[in-house]
Amino acid sequence: MQRMAVVAQLVERWLVVPDAAGSSPVGRPQNSHAEVSASSTSVPDVDEATSRESLVAPDVPWVTIVWNDPVNLMSYVSHVFRGYFGFSREESERLMMLVHTEGRAVVATGPREEMERHTEAMHEFGLWATVAKADD
Amino acid sequence: MRVSRSHDAIVLEFAEGEAGVLRSLIDQYLEVVSADAGSDPALPRLFPLAYSDDQDAADEFAQYTRTGLVDRKASNAAQVSLALDEETVRLTLAETERWLPLLTDLRLVIADRIGILVDSDAIPETPAGEVYEWLGRLQGSMIDLLEEP
């Protein structure tokens, strides 16, 4: 990787598109530095999500779907399934292969708010996940 | 770059310049991740629509989750950057886990810049393509070592 030193000069600021760089001071959360030490264990705030779901029948099943994307390593997808959902190595591999070969896999079934929580977690891991009704 | 495991630590030995490249990428990522929605074409990859066929539900999901996700992604990235002062970085297994989503997000942003949209898209032989592959090798090595029994 000798070339990385050369690359260091070449990559300067190419990741930021001009428009995004210009607008970032406005969009940046004010507390993004203050929360550095507490962030990794913080729990998503689902109070509002819970209250807005209270009118929906609780027994209607929903699913969390993870979709194939061209970026994530197969080993990473499997690692996330194992670490986050607590699946066995075999089950994590099976679901990852479904994502890879079928383009998608249902990774969880249950109440809508719980499926949204899983989806938010998948987005935090950088995976492409969606929520849907179980029969869709 | 060399990645190894010694008991309960993952040791990263960066070649000259590599840690600096990673720091620079993270600085830029911090700008991208906290940019206004719609201002950067990579943002839909970092924050996908949560409902593929219901825009209202997807908007509502984003409204309730976006700020928290931005905060957590940004603070995680800032934490990783703090570890990059040395060319040899020693991480606990828990710290290593926190590098993985950031490395994925960096690759998601670069994938947008170099036009990787589907599995069959070739990685261009450019500096950006090389960094994309390097990040993938780093992440893959870390995962292999974490998955060791």
Task: Give A108-119 pLDDT, tens digit per residue.
Answer: 999 999 999 999
Closest residue of A to B104, CA-based? A126
Model ipTM over 0.90? yes
Residue A39: its pLDDT value, please?
A: 41
Closest residue of B to A51, CA-based? B64
Q: Is the pLDDT of residue B109 over 80?
A: yes
Closest residue of A to B137, CA-based? A73
**Selection from B101, B109, B107, B108 nearest residue B142 by Cα:** B101
Q: What is the mean pLDDT of residues B72-88?
A: 95
Residue A33: its pLDDT value, please?
A: 39
pTM: 0.83
Please indicate if any CB of chain B lies within 8 Å of the CB of A50. Answer: no
Residue A16: its pLDDT value, please?
A: 72
Closest Cβ opposite residue A27 in set B34, B97, B98: B34
Contacts of A124 in chain B (CB under 8 A): 69, 72-73, 101
Contacts of A7 in chain B (CB under 8 A): 17, 21, 127, 130-131
Q: What is the mean pLDDT of residues A9-36?
A: 47
Q: Is the pLDDT of residue B149 over 90?
A: no
- If one counts the domains in chain B, the total is 1
Contacts of A87 in chain B (CB under 8 A): none
Q: Which domain holds residue B55?
A: 2-147
| Percentage of chain A exceeding pLDDT 70 | 57
Residue A135: its pLDDT value, please?
A: 78
Closest Cβ opposite residue A4 in set B46, B78, B134: B134
Please indicate if any CB of chain A lies within 8 Å of the CB of B44. Answer: no
Do B75 and A35 make contact, defined as CB atoms within 8 angstroms?
yes
Q: What is the mean pLDDT of residues B14-36?
A: 95
* pLDDT tens figures, A39-59: 444 444 545 444 445 555 556
Q: Is the pLDDT of residue B132 over 60?
A: yes
Query: Mutating which of A7, A15, A75 best tests the B interface, going by the most B Cβ atoms within 10 A?
Result: A15
What string of H, E and C letters represents the secondary structure of chain B? CEEEEECCEEEEECCCCHHHHHHHHHHHHHHHHCCCCCCCCCHHHHCCCCCCCCHHHHHHHHHHHHHHHHHHHHHHHHHHHHHHHCCEEEEEHHHHHHHHHHHHHHHHHHHHHCCCCCCCCCCCCCHHHHHHHHHHHHHHHHHHHHCCC
